Structure 1
Amino acid sequence: MPDLAAVERTALLTAALRAAESRRPDCLYSDPYAEAFAGEIGPGLLDEIRAVTFPPERDRTLPSTPDYNAIRTRFFDDFLTGVACDPGMRQLVIAPAGMDSRAFRLDWPGHVTLFEVDRPAVVEVKEQVLGAEVPRVDRRVVAVDLRAPDWETRLVDAGYEPTRPSTWLLEGLLYYIPEADAHRILDRVRALSAPGSAIAADVVNAAALRLPSMKGLLEVFARWGCPWLFGTDEPEEFFARHGFSVQAVQPGEPGADFGRWPDPVPPRAVGDVRRVFFVHGTPATR
């Protein structure tokens, strides 16, 4: 089995979080593949996150990563299955796909093709774990880095049609890459998005990268070799610069709570607080 780079290993953390969520009696979703995807490494990564998030000797100051991940997964589950109900929406792209199992655990209409894009090492590990498992959708795997100059060509070679509407999910990506890369990727996604397309993503705000209260969590990711690098306080404006008209909702707000977010949600006008945004929308009319 190939070694995974630092950022790629965060896919194992996400898998461990999803496995833990699936064991809860009040789980927001069930992922029967997550434990196998997490393997031996994922639980250890999760233990490190839990240790800094829930310190036994003092009150929690960091966001609850388990609750956040549960809400994020469910929010994007609902988003993807909702857009897939449209008979005209035949293409879904999850990039990066990591150890995502939506192709196997969710019900999909027959007209949908789901493309999973991620680095070759991640794809190799994932396919080894899946073995002979059969997806519930026409699943196309594209083993390519989103920073590669030819990833669009590789996607088209797998059957993606740029002239047809598509839905893109950029989950767990933008805060791990430099701002310049975030701009480039969104420009390239927009170029592939025909009228009638949709997009969703998660992104942190700028304060989440520098607040002292975030230090413990940021230090863990930096120690792993995958520091958080990008955040924006105005996600709507950021996506608009790349031709998308989006809405941004925070965990704990209506539609992104599911009875699980444990912290207050300060109004957007309040500064110097950590925030995460779930962004979703469509290409702007030209």
Structure 2
Amino acid sequence: MIDTEASRTAVLVCQGRAVANGRLGVGRFSDPLAVELLTAGERELVDRVRAGDIPKGVGARIEYELLSGTAELLAARTAVIDDAVRESANPQLVILGAGLDSRAWRMPELAGVTVYEVDHPASQALKRERLGARTTEADLHFVPVDFGKDTLGASLTAAGHDATRPTTWIWEGVVTYLTPAEIADTVTEVAKRSAPGSRLIVTYTTPNLVHRYGRRAMELLLSVTGRANPMAREPQRSSWTPEGLAALLTERGLTPTSDIDMVAAAAAAEVVGKRERFLAAGRIVVADRV
């Protein structure tokens, strides 16, 4: 992501949740706030996908399919992560790369929980503008972190995070855009600040040539048809095998307790869709500090 610009993938993710709300994983997934965090222009594509209005042009069709697949992915992923958050029931929640996340507003279980949303200052400014006067029953703290200048630990300390109390950490949709070294450094910092009872929830991408080249083809088609590419400034920089990521977490003192692929997550959340290729490379690992 360019330092002075908000994340465009954060908008795509929010659009995906807006498409899925009330349509996918009903009873397991719900995010009525998502559509309210979008501009009128961003809602147009959401409305088209929700209506099943398939466009004819190549570029428009790629946009449609990308958002449709994102919605299926997000409904399944969110349901699994939310369950893991509820199960941990910790007094602190840190969301790394929060984007337009809405958990602090839509999860009643977070009432009274101290929530720290960590993100780049530009992305955070965009979110706060879109939130307007909305309030939450969570004890919410925005933690702006520019990783080119700031450190995660110092920023969280300044915001009031208490490393002696159990924390649930959500690291959703971020790892794939970081280098292995950046991931290792972040896991090390998270582990240092995780008291016994803490939990880390991480989504990641496995090595998958079909997914890798499919994404490249999609980006190329968006480019040649003159459509905006929401992933242009956030290239994929890493992928992990379950064994490799488990080894990293274990070395830092975090014990993996579950690791499921997104196809299984979609089945568990009863997300019935047609775009399994969007799910095939993704996984969610939960690791606890015991």
Q: Is the 8 Å Cα contact of residues 49 and 217 (structure 1) preserved in structure 2? A: no
C-alpha change, 1:176 and 1:52, in structure 2 (3 Å) is: same
Provide the rounded CA distance (Å) in 2 between the counterparts of 1:12 and 1:275: 21
Task: Give the alignment partner of residue 71 of structure 2, picking from 52, 66, 72.
Answer: 66
Looking at secondary structure, tell me which structure has more helix per residue: 2
What displacement does 1:118 show? 0.8
What displacement does 1:54 show? 7.2
Across the aligned residues of Structure 1 and Structure 2, the Cα RMSD in angstroms comes to 3.4
So what's the TM-score if we normalise by structure 1? 0.79
Match of 1:77 in 2: 82
Match of 2:249 in 1: 239
What displacement does 1:108 show? 2.3
Match of 1:270 in 2: none
Provide the rounded CA distance (Å) in 1 between the counterparts of 2:60 and 2:82: 24
Match of 2:19 in 1: 20
Calculate percent identity across the aligned residue pairs: 26
Provide the rounded CA distance (Å) in 1 between the counterparts of 2:235 and 2:45: 15
Provide the rounded CA distance (Å) in 1 between the counterparts of 2:196 and 2:231: 42
Q: Is the 8 Å Cα contact of residues 190 and 244 (structure 1) preserved in structure 2? A: yes
Amino acid at match of 1:228: Q
Q: Give secondary structure in 2 for the equivalent of 1:225.
A: coil
Does residue 229 of the first structure (1) align with residue 237 of the second (2)?
yes
What displacement does 1:217 show? 4.3
C-alpha change, 1:36 and 1:83, in structure 2 (3 Å) is: same
Provide the rounded CA distance (Å) in 2 between the counterparts of 1:147 and 1:275: 29
Aligned length: 266
Q: Is the 8 Å Cα contact of residues 92 and 113 (structure 1) preserved in structure 2? A: yes
TM alignment of 1:1-286, pairs within 5 A: 5=5, 8-24=7-23, 27=26, 28-40=28-40, 42=42, 51-52=61-62, 64-84=69-89, 89-108=90-109, 110-146=111-147, 148-208=149-209, 211-217=212-218, 219=220, 224-234=232-242, 235-246=245-256, 247-253=258-264, 257-260=268-271, 262=273, 274-283=280-289
Q: Is the 8 Å Cα contact of residues 80 and 265 (structure 2) preserved in structure 1? A: no
Provide the rounded CA distance (Å) in 2 between the counterparts of 1:53 and 1:233: 29
C-alpha change, 1:132 and 1:222, in structure 2 (3 Å) is: closer
Provide the rounded CA distance (Å) in 2 between the counterparts of 1:43 and 1:66: 14
220-229 or 65-74, which deviates more: 220-229
C-alpha change, 1:249 and 1:160, in structure 2 (3 Å) is: same
Amino acid at match of 2:61: A
Amino acid at match of 1:227: P
Amino acid at match of 1:260: V
Provide the rounded CA distance (Å) in 2 between the counterparts of 1:153 and 1:143: 11
Q: Is the 8 Å Cα contact of residues 45 and 64 (structure 2) preserved in structure 1? A: no
Q: Give secondary structure in 1 for the equivalent of 2:14.
A: helix
What displacement does 1:264 show? 11
Provide the rounded CA distance (Å) in 2 between the counterparts of 1:107 and 1:244: 28
Could you list the per-position Cα deviations for residues 132-173 of structure 1 after superposition, in whole angstroms to 9, with x for gaps in the alignment? Answer: 111021111111134544332221121111111111000111
So what's the TM-score if we normalise by structure 2? 0.78
Q: Is the 8 Å Cα contact of residues 260 and 283 (structure 2) preserved in structure 1? A: yes
